[in-house]
Amino acid sequence: MSKKRNRLEIIRDILEVIRNKSGKVKPTHILYKSNLSHQMMEQYLLELKEKEMIYESKLGNGKTYNITEKGIDYLSKYKMIAEFTQSFGLEEN
Amino acid sequence: MNYSYLIPNWFFGFDIAMEILFAVITFITAVMAFKINSVTKERKIKLFGIAFLLISLSYIVLGGLNFWFVNLVSSGFRQVTIDNVQLIGVVSLYLYMVLFASGLITLAYINCDVKKGKIYYLLFGLGLLVIAASLHKLITFRILSVFLLSFISYHYFEEYLKNKNKKAFWSLIAFSLLFLSCVDFIFSPFYYQAYVIGHLLELVAYILIFGILIKSVKK
């Protein structure tokens, strides 16, 4: 059985899904790829918007999510962030 | 405050150099935490940075106090009165204790895994009041530090056992050494060796913390 992902890993996975789709993706695709419940995904997306790692755009009746420079910065520094937080036991529950 | 350290003559200067080194390492740790926080905006990382910044400031005050005192002794107290010496010494020592204890309280709060500002306020208030209300402030400060560091070390022990997180192992060793150094410092008024051993234990602990940082940056 695979290990339960922590918060930082989930954020990385969501950002990677958006980046891999040329930085523009529908919520259903994020839900499918990130392996989260709808409620959890909405919470994470809200948090990522507040942290300015992603932004929302209108597309007809729906919406898409786009990655920002901050989101790309997070992905490029992810290994360092993970090493630091794991070494000092700073992972949020 | 009837409490003093016994310091061997040959160790004068080494202690100040070590305290400045501890200040630099803890400052770098704080800067690194703030840098990571600027990307992640995670509460624990920000508090960790604040804790290490407080500890860094405490070492700057302590190193500065020791440096000032050594200079004063070597210059033969020409320019200041004994009252002034006592006042500056006591204020600096209080400032050191408040900063160091605040740093440890912040680290202990992070490890409590709660997001209540009220709990932080309570820990902070209780910790500082215990020192302020004590007749033997430095001994009380050392005992409080031992208690907080035992709590922090236990957190890393749990972290290591729970997740088999080998990365937390070195933090466990570093904070355990800081715990031992604080236990050791309690005996420094009675044995001059205690002051030297305490500093050496701290030195190894902060070198380990610096090693963890270097490893993170290389990723």
- Which DSSP symbol is given to B9? G
B110:A73 CB<8 A? no
Q: What is the pTM of this model?
A: 0.89
> Which CA distances in Å does B56 have to B20, B22, B59?
9, 7, 5
Give me the pLDDT at residue B218, please.
Answer: 82
B219:A83 CB<8 A? yes
The torsion region of residue A89 among left (phi > 0), alpha (psi -120 to 50) and beta comes to left
- Three-state SS for A66? strand
Name the β-bridge partners of A56.
A65
Min Cα distance A60 → chain B (Å) is 32
Query: Which chain B residues contact residue A9 at CB under 8 A?
Result: none
Token digits for B134?
């004590």
Name the β-bridge partners of A24.
A66
Give me the pLDDT at residue B78, please.
Answer: 57
Structural domains in chain B, CATH included, are 3-218 (1.20.1070)
Q: Are A19 and A71 in contact (CB under 8 A)?
A: yes
Q: Are B219 and A79 in contact (CB under 8 A)?
A: yes
Q: Are B172 and B128 in contact (CB under 8 A)?
A: no
pLDDT category of residue A1 using cuts at 50, 70 and 90: very low
Token digits for B119?
């709990």
Give the whole-angstrom CA distance, residue B173 versus residue B129.
30
Give the whole-angstrom CA distance, residue B49 versus residue B58.
14
Which of B34, B42, B106 is most worth mutating to test chain A (most A CB atoms within 10 A of its CB)? B42
Instruction: Output the tens digit of pLDDT for each of chain B's 219 residues.
Output: 455 667 787 888 898 999 999 999 999 999 999 999 999 989 999 999 999 999 999 999 999 988 888 787 776 655 556 667 678 888 899 999 999 999 999 999 999 888 888 999 999 999 999 999 999 888 999 999 999 999 999 999 988 887 677 778 999 999 999 999 999 999 888 888 899 999 999 999 999 999 999 998 887
A81, closest residue in chain B (CA to CA): B36
Min Cα distance B106 → chain A (Å) is 13
* A16 has a pLDDT exceeding 50: yes
* A24 has a pLDDT exceeding 80: no
Report the residue from B39, B48, B170 with minimal CB separation from A90: B48
Phi/psi for B78 (5° steps) reads: -70, -35
- Across the A:B interface, residue pairs with CB atoms under 8 Å apart total 65
Give me the pLDDT at residue A44, please.
Answer: 93
B45:A90 CB<8 A? yes
What is the interface pTM, i.e. ipTM, of the complex?
Answer: 0.85
Which amino acid is it at A10?
Answer: I
A74:B40 CB<8 A? yes
Name the β-bridge partners of A64.
A57
Element (H, E) at B187: none
A12, closest residue in chain B (CA to CA): B40
Among residues B141, B149, B123, B99, the alpha carbon closest in space to that of B3 is found at B141
